[in-house]
Structure formats: structure tokens, C-alpha cells
Amino acid sequence: MRVKVLVAAHKNYEMPTDPMYLPVFVGKDLHPDVNHTFQGDNTGDNISQKNPTYNELTAIYWGWKNLDVDAMGLVHYRRYLSLRHHKSLQTVLSEKETVALLEDYDIILPSKRKYYIETNESHYLHAHHHEPFEVMRQVIQEQYPEYAPAFELVMKRTWAHMFNMFIMKKKPLNEYCTWMYDVLAKVEAQTDISNYSTYEQRVYGFLSELLLDVWLEVHPEYKTKEVNYVFMEHTNWLKKGGKFIQRKITGHA
């Protein structure tokens, strides 16, 4: 089985040595001189120029359209999938482990991120502009009504599979990407983000994190397996918690 897991990166960084991993420099079309070692997301069929608004989705799109593999996935230069909990590039999910998992499952996911006191919808709306979220809800209701009940169900949950991290066999990957990029294109066509901050202009990448579980809910025919999510750097939980509380108090328009 041919498997490639893209490692989305926007700067030089240490990468796993396992040949399954392919470092991809995202937004390469906009920064052609920053990195000459990693694969750029700007060859073949690509949306590299959308990286400021689509985040790591430009890497997923590039891999989906240009790689000839049996399964493909995405992780981040600081976030990986693993069968262990160690913060080490030597113990991240290996090609051998991945192939073994894909013998029994169609999709490998990171462990659920749990919000406990917030739903996916309230968590998003406390952190980001509301209009694109509501446009996405409307697009799904009008263009993909068979997904509308799943959307409402997932938005009421207090957990999600985040970060656009996954490994999928070719068939579900093609089906998911076709649906997800079409939904986002329709949202993009109906939203004006010209006055958003640089951070908030990453909106379509943020929205996409909510779509994976919606799609999975409608496609129970695909068997999924959760593995550990490992963040390689130190997390400042005090700072992170402070931002969480601030968003709860101030919200977002």
C-alpha cells in the first residue's frame, strides 16, 4: 500500500525521517524563496495562492490532486499522529503502523478534542466572525440538505476531530475533498473578508475543521480509528486558558 502523509509547514523545521512523511511548504506560490527543500504546494493542480485564507488546506488540495497513492493524510510540523504519547519525531505514527491500521480501517483520526463546557458552534463563534459560519450553515442547508441534520448535530457536540488531521484511503479522501472544497468555495463566493484581520482571514481553514465530523456522520460506511494526537512543543496552559476565558466574556461579532 502506497501511503503519503503530508507535513504542512510554513518555515524550516525538523521533520520525521520515515519515508511516509512528505514535508509540504504551504503558500509556496506567495513565498517562492523561503524554502527550497520541502515540496511546494504550487505545482500541478493547486490552490497555493489561497493559503492566507485556506491554511493547510492548500497542502491537502495539492496532495489530493497530484499524488498517486492508495492513502493520504495530513499532519502539521508541530502536530502529529502517534500510537504513543511521546513528544518525539522518532515515535510518531510510522509507515508500518499506518499500513497495518489501514488493513482494518478506512480513516485514521486524531483523538477527539474535548471542550466540555462549550459546543463546537459556541467555541467557533466566541473566537471568530459569525457571518462565514452562518453562510456555511446556509450553504449546507440549501446545497447539501442531506448533510444539514449532521451539521446541526455536530455543532451541538462538545468534542471534535480538529486541525484537519487525518489519513484516508483514496476513495473516502476523494469523496470528502470533493464535498469539502465545494462547500468552502460556495461560502467564499458569498462572504466579504476584506476588512478581517490577517489572522481572521484564515477563515476557510478554520471553517473546514468543523466539516470533517459532519462528513463522517453522513458516511458511517467508512470505518475510523482514533490514535493519539501529539503536540511537539510546550503548551502554555495558563495563557491558553486566559484566552479561552477572554473569548467567553467578550465574544466575537
Q: How many domains, in total, are found in the chain? A: 1
Binning pLDDT at 50, 70 and 90, where does residue 186 land? very high
Q: Minimal CA–CA distance to 72: which of 1, 167, 164, 163?
A: 167
> What are the tens digits of pLDDT across the range 42-94?
999 999 999 999 999 999 999 999 999 999 999 999 999 999 999 999 999 99
| Conformation bin of residue 209: beta by default, left when phi > 0, alpha when psi is -120 to 50 | alpha
Neighbours of 220 (CB within 10 A): 8
Read off the pTM: 0.93
Which CATH number covers residue 73?
Answer: 3.90.550
How many CA atoms lie within 13 Å of 166's alpha carbon, on the beta-carbon side? 29
Of the two residues 36 and 161, the one the predictor is more confident about is 161
* Percent of the chain residues topping a pLDDT of 70: 92
- For the cut 90, the answer to whether the pLDDT of residue 239 exceeds it is no
Give the structural domain span for 131: 3-250
pLDDT at 234: 73
Q: Report the C-alpha gap between 226 and 236 in whole angstroms.
A: 25
**Alpha-carbon separation of residue 229 from 162, 173, 181, 192, 232 (angstroms):** 10, 20, 25, 34, 10
Amino acid identity for residue 112 in this structure = K
pLDDT at 241: 46
Reduced to 3 states (helix: H, G, I; strand: E, B; else coil), residue 24 is strand
